[in-house]
Amino acid sequence: METKDRQQQYLEFALGSLEGDEYEEIRDLLARGDQECSRGVAEARAVVAGLSYAAPEATPPAHVRKRLLAAVAEPRRSRSWTPYLAWAAAAGLLIFAVLSGSRARNLEVELANLQQRYEQLSGEHQQILAETETYRQVLTIVSAPGTRSVSLSAQQSPQLQAYWNEPLGLVLAGQNVPAPAADRTLQLWIIPAQGNPIDAGIFRPDDTGRTLYITSPGISISQAAALAITDEPAGGQPQPTTTPIWVGQIG
């Protein structure tokens, strides 16, 4: 009898479905202590025990149940995994590893996306806080007692408006302001009644042409005669190098 047929007998014996001469043969081998038969039946019982957890509950026929109980009641001997059981275990571990690895990679991607979204939201939050602080300063300066308003006009550009309060600072605001070249910047100057222009900082309009710039002049408004804006190389200059585009007299 071939090995495969014998293994099938072991499984049917463990399930309680082996009958006739084949059943008696296995019983006799077990009674004589045949090692190969004992090992085969023990391994078959292990397989049956494992399948019992995956199979739905069912009530076996009475004669099958009787033989299965009798088979289980027989003395157990030491088990040794056959190649079939070893391959089944290895396959199960491989599937688990593949699924676990795939899930781990998915979690890593999800975590990276969440981190990126968090950083984006954090950046947007910081930008909102900065803009809120800017608007608060603008409102404080514009609405404070003693603030002076200065209009800066240009021949071919929209007018800008400056609000100057000595203890609080100076606000420069405008809409649709043309942006200078990438390697250039706009620079604000305070023109004193006497002496050279005083640097009041550099700025650029945003992508929509909006300008909202806050600075702290290093001079008293009573000493200033005008405000001017020139187009200068990036980083600004100690003194104007071009003709002012915008000029506003302080009356």
DSSP, collapsed to helix, strand or coil, labels residue 211 as strand
Strand 184-192 relative to strand 246-249, pairing: unpaired
Q: What is the pLDDT of residue 243?
A: 96
Residues 103 and 195 in one domain: no
The string of DSSP letters for 20-67 reads HHHHHHHHHHHHTT-HHHHHHHHHHHHHHHHHHHHSPP-PPPHHHHHH
Containing domain of residue 193, as a range? Answer: 148-249
At 107, list the tokens.
């979690």
Is there a domain that residue 55 lies in? yes
202, 165 contact by CB (below 8 A): no
Residue 89 forms part of a structural domain: no
Task: State how far the alpha carbon of 117 is from the alpha carbons of 104, 120, 128, 178, 239, in Å.
Answer: 20, 5, 16, 34, 45
Residues 239 and 204 in one domain: yes
Q: What pLDDT does 1 receive?
A: 41
Number of Cβ within 10 Å of residue 62's Cβ equals: 8
Same domain (yes/no): 191, 137: no
- Give dist(CA 32, CA 55) in Å, integer: 33
Would you write out the chain's pLDDT as a tens digit for each of its 251 residues? 444 478 888 878 877 778 888 889 989 999 999 999 898 888 888 776 665 554 444 455 565 556 555 555 555 444 444 555 555 656 666 566 666 666 667 777 777 888 888 888 888 878 788 778 888 888 899 999 999 999 999 988 899 999 999 999 999 999 999 999 999 999 999 999 999 999 999 999 999 999 999 999 989 999 999 999 999 999 999 999 999 999 999 97
Task: Specify the number of domains making up the chain.
Answer: 3
- What's residue 3's pLDDT? 45
Partners of 148 in beta bridges? 164
90 found inside a domain = no
The two structure tokens encoding residue 55: 């199979």
Q: Examine the domain organization and report whether 170 and 107 are in the same domain.
A: no
Q: Are residues 176 and 206 in the same domain?
A: yes
C-alpha torsion 140→141→142→145, nearest 10: 90
Gap between the Cα atoms of 127 and 146, Å rounded: 31
Residue 153 per-residue DSSP state: B
pTM of the full structure = 0.53
Q: Specify if 20 maps to a domain.
A: yes
Are 169 and 237 within one domain?
Answer: yes
Domain co-membership, 174 together with 109? no
Q: Are residues 193 and 110 part of one domain?
A: no
243 and 153 fall within a common domain = yes
pLDDT per residue over 197-213, tens digit each? 999 999 999 999 999 99
Q: What is the DSSP string of 102-140?
A: HHHHHHHHHHHHHHHHHHHHHHHHHHHHHHHHHHHHHHH
- Statement to judge: residues 191 and 221 lie in one domain: yes
Flag whether 87 is in a domain: no
Q: What is the pLDDT of residue 184?
A: 97
